[in-house]
Amino acid sequence: MFFRKSMIGCSVACALQLMSGNASASAFALIEQSSGLGNSFAGGAAAAEDATTIFFNPAGMTKLKGDQVTVAASFIDFSAKFSDTGSTGAALQTAGGNGGDAGALAVVPNTYIVAEIEPVLRFGLGINAPFGLMTEYDPDWIGRFQAIDSKIQTININPSLSYEMNDIVSLGIGLNYQHITGELTSAVNYSAAAYDAGGAGLLTAIGGPGVEGVSTIKGSDSAWGYNLGVLFQVAPETRWGLSYRSKIKYTLNGTITFADVPAALTASPLLANGDVTLPITMPDSLSISVFHQMGNGWDIMADATRTGWSVLQEMKIDRSNGSNVLTVQEKWKDTWRVAAGASYHYNEQWLARMGVAYDQTPVPDAYRTARIPDNDRTWISVGGQYKVSQAGTLDFGYAHLFVKDASIADMQAAAGKGDLVGTYKGSVNIVSVQYAHSF
């Protein structure tokens, strides 16, 4: 009993640590929520291997025996390097370099707990990070007036129930309480602002060309969503799963601050510190999966997931008085992710995994920005499982994501931010470790 309470307490505490990440699914979605990394998360809505099914399909809890706790962490190493092919520096400023590697290493933890209420009814609790983003450029790069740092962090608390209607059909439902925080920084072209407001005289008054500072926008909000799932045991060796996660609508409230504002510009309402709002909607998703035991030591699985990224058409940040700070047209589109995987049972203790996936980007070429230089990606992954005891299993996996080169032509010279023209080369490496303990 002491070990059980310690496991549950440790898992919750670990998952409530800072949950952010470099997005490994398309845009800023995080799919690293289970032991399925080695299978490229193929068959997630049908596999029902452990308590992480709460995220992929809560109906899968009916296939678990007894109570279970899982604790996991994914280490995501994202790389995005910009190559200039014709950019123009911001007016009255030095151009700057290519920005270095905008990616970074992030740790994304999660934990899941399943408890049997009755033989056909189970309760589950998941704590995870379904969305996250972090890009960081050198502060003196050529695109600094468009973006320096971008960060999105989420924490999702997901209580769930599953009910086994009969030997074939199981149902699942969950609520999602999700908290989001965001931070955006960029350079501010004070020289261009002075020249536009007062010509050469005001430009001279602030010190001439090359005067700049940094703006920081921060905000946060919390909101509710839901997820549903159904699992069909169509044969003893075959399961089909269908799951849906709802949209979550936010209005982030926060502040905008400006650093190093020249004295001659402090009266400008455009450069005043103050409160801001940013409405944003996280997309819904629909997944269909299949899991099949072939009977010769092999399991095969596949799935397809549609994500409704078209909810993000623009990023619009306004002051509390209604005046606009920034509007960026995004024009994102809905996407599909398809995956296939296989597992081989060497013996009662060892399991090997492998998988491939193709993940579309929602970002049209014409609307790509430096904050999210995303493009289509192809997954190749391997992994395994070791049964350390009758009650405990250790899962591990590795995936490499080949990201298609992404062109960018973000023309903002008219706003004093320069034109960013070039190509991004990107890749992602992921390592995950998970421990599951049954009681």
Backbone angles phi, psi at 52, to 5 degrees: -70, -10
Tens of pLDDT along the chain (439 residues) come to 433 443 444 444 343 444 445 556 678 899 988 789 999 999 999 999 999 999 999 999 999 999 999 999 999 999 999 999 999 999 999 999 999 999 999 999 999 999 999 999 999 999 999 999 899 999 999 999 999 999 999 999 999 999 999 999 999 999 999 999 999 999 999 999 999 999 999 999 999 999 999 999 999 999 999 999 999 999 999 999 999 999 999 999 999 999 999 999 999 999 999 999 999 999 999 999 999 999 899 999 999 999 999 999 999 999 999 999 999 999 999 999 999 999 999 999 999 999 999 999 999 999 999 999 999 999 999 999 999 999 999 999 999 999 999 999 999 999 999 999 999 999 999 999 999 999 9
Rounded Cα distance, 205 and 409, in Å? 34
- Total Cβ atoms within 10 A of residue 365: 11
What residue ranges define each of the domains in the chain, with the CATH number in brackets? 2-438 (2.40.160.60)
Residue 118: burial class (beta carbons within 10 Å; 0-12, 13-18, 19+): exposed
Radius of gyration of the chain (CA): 24
Residue 70 amino acid letter: T
Closest listed residue to residue 41, CA positions, set 28, 58, 24, 27: 24
The count of C-alpha atoms lying within 13 angstroms of the C-alpha of 430, restricted to the half-sphere facing its C-beta, is 35
Whole-angstrom Cα distance, residue 151 to residue 67? 36
| Helix (H/G/I), strand (E/B), else coil: 302 | strand
Is 50 exposed, middle or buried (CB count within 10 Å of its CB: 0-12, 13-18, 19+)?
A: buried
Tokens 């109570």: give the residue: 67
Phi, psi of 11 (to 5 degrees): -65, -40
The answer to whether 405 and 420 are in contact (CB under 8 A) is: no
Measure CA of the first residue to CA of the last residue in the chain; give whole Å: 9
The residues pairing with 293 across neighbouring beta strands, listed in sequence order, are 299
> Pick from 79, 72, 81: which is nearest to 22 by CA?
79
- Per-residue burial over 119-157, b = 16 or more CB atoms within 10 Å of its CB, e = otherwise: eeebbbbbbbbbbbbbbbbbbebbbbbbbbbbbbbbbbb
Token pair recorded at residue 175: 């609520």
Q: Residue 435 carries which side chain, given as an amino acid letter?
A: Y
**348 torsion bin: left (phi>0), alpha (psi -120 to 50), beta (else):** alpha
